[in-house]
């Protein structure tokens, strides 16, 4: 616990290997501020950019290129998954990881540590030793959770789904330590949907069209361009909103294309919550953050791509819950869209499923676990 009259300090460990770790961290910090005001201080540390030795400190910039070899990525995921493999990996890498982990701890003393990255669990816990602050693991993979997430020394392991909890228990984690809280997402994704027509008017989108929102994650990954063009050329009476993310080359290519339906092209944007509220369907890769955001927006999902390994379970979970479909080719995406455009009743059933599986209080629930560990008091304006 912090010393008297000193605000407790929280250290968040993440990395920009994919946009989900940073956005999850920021969502938790936002929820803490909403619940506890200024009773705490915090800082964020990117374990690769800020501390990993060269060339590993370039891992976040490599990530978009690494996932362009999905089968190789998936093979690596499965080869290293499992408790024996995880123990061997952490033990083998400890001589190198120890220096990094100890520098992080030395340079960022804290009263509580939160990790949202699987490579910032066991090595950090080992470096912290026995007389350490509370340590909380927030698992940001929705269903297919790698063994590196799970370490018995964590004081709390917060997972997005019941399936992820069962995986943690299979790996020997204490049932008392593992809690299902959902995927942490920013508050702006959890607000009431409001009037779709007024949101469309603000955005300058047509009010009378079925709108398909096509997203490829922050990096504009997957066959996003081919999928968008197939929808536009399908003959369906739709409008398209395409998010190219940070992929400037893709954005430029899309802007040059002659579109046969009303089409709006965006790069990286912070308006995605409004985009989801104003759309009728989301066409996206199977990233956990985007799926959780769509659930909260009650927006039916067509999943057109996945990263083998960690995103496999996201697809099966979404489909089994009835909140979306798997359509891994542009032609299958168009086929699903055709059904939903012509049969609103079918689409409405998917909307209801999204509503059922949504967890809009996930970030607040995580904030409460942290606040309880630090003895914080919920602000009087709550």
Instruction: Domains for the chain: give ranges and CATH numbers.
Output: 9-186+360-374 (3.40.50.2000), 191-357 (3.40.50.2000)
Question: Residue 360 has what pLDDT?
Answer: 95
pLDDT under 50 in the chain at which residues? none
Are 265 and 244 spatial neighbours (Cβ–Cβ below 8 Å)? yes
- Burial (CB < 10 A; 0-12, 13-18, 19+), residue 125, is buried
Note the Cα 146 to chain centre separation in Å.
15
Tens digits of per-residue pLDDT, 146-160? 999 999 999 999 999
Separation CA 171–CA 131 (nearest Å):
25
User: Which of 86, 84, 78, 93 lies closest to 118 in space, CA to CA?
Assistant: 86
Q: Where are the alpha helices (DSSP H) in 2-109?
A: 20-36, 59-66, 70-80, 83-107
pTM value? 0.92
At residue 179, the 3 state secondary structure works out as strand
Element of type H or E holding 353 = helix 344-357
Separation CA 37–CA 229 (nearest Å):
47
Note the Cα 332 to chain centre separation in Å.
25
Question: Residue 74 has what pLDDT?
Answer: 83
Question: Residue 170 has what pLDDT?
Answer: 95
Going 226 to 232 to 233 to 234, the CA torsion angle's sign is: positive
Tokens of 363: 């970030």
What separation, in Å, do the N-terminal and C-terminal C-alpha atoms of the chain show? 24
Question: Residue 221 has what pLDDT?
Answer: 57
Separation CA 184–CA 48 (nearest Å):
22
Q: Where are the alpha helices (DSSP H) in 108-259?
A: 122-128, 162-170, 196-203, 224-232, 248-256
Separation CA 52–CA 69 (nearest Å):
23
């Amino acid at each position: 616990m912090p010393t008297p009259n000193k605000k407790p300090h929280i250290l968040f460990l993440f990395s920009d290997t994919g946009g989900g770790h940073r956005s999850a961290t920021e969502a938790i910090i936002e929820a803490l501020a909403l619940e506890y005001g200024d009773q705490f201080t915090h800082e964020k540390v990117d374990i690769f950019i800020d501390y990993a030795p060269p060339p590993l400190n370039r891992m976040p910039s490599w990530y978009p290129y690494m996932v362009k070899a999905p089968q190789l990525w998936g093979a690596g995921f499965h080869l290293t998954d499992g408790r024996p493999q995880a123990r061997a990996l952490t033990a083998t890498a400890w001589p190198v990881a120890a220096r990094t982990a100890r520098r992080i701890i030395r340079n960022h003393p804290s009263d509580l540590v939160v990790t949202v990255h699987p490579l910032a669990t066991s090595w950090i816990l080992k470096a912290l030793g026995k007389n350490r602050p509370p340590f909380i693991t927030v698992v940001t993979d929705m269903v297919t959770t790698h063994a590196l997430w799970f370490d018995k020394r964590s004081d709390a392991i917060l997972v997005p789904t019941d399936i992820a909890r069962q995986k943690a228990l299979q790996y020997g984690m204490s049932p008392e330590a593992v809690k299902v809280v959902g995927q942490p997402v920013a508050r702006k994704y959890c607000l009431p949907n409001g009037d779709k027509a007024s949101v469309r008017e603000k955005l300058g989108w047509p009010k009378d069209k079925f709108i398909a929102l096509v997203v490829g994650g922050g990096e504009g990954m997957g066959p996003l361009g081919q999928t968008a063009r197939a929808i536009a050329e399908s003959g369906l009476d739709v409008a398209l909103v395409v998010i190219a993310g940070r992929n400037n080359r893709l954005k430029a290519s899309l802007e040059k294309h002659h579109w046969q339906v009303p089409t709006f092209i965006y790069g990286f944007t912070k308006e995605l919550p409004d985009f989801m509220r104003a759309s009728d369907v989301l066409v996206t890769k199977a990233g956990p953050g985007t799926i959780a955001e769509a659930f909260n927006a009650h927006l039916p999902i067509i999943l057109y791509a996945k990263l083998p390994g960690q995103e496999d379970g996201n697809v099966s979970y979404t489909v089994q819950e009835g909140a979306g479909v798997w359509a891994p080719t542009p032609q299958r995406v168009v086929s699903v869209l055709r059904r939903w455009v012509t049969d609103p009743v079918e689409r409405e059933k998917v909307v209801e499923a999204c509503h059922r599986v949504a967890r809009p209080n996930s970030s607040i629930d995580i904030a409460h676990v942290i606040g309880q560990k630090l003895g914080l008091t919920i602000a009087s304006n709550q």
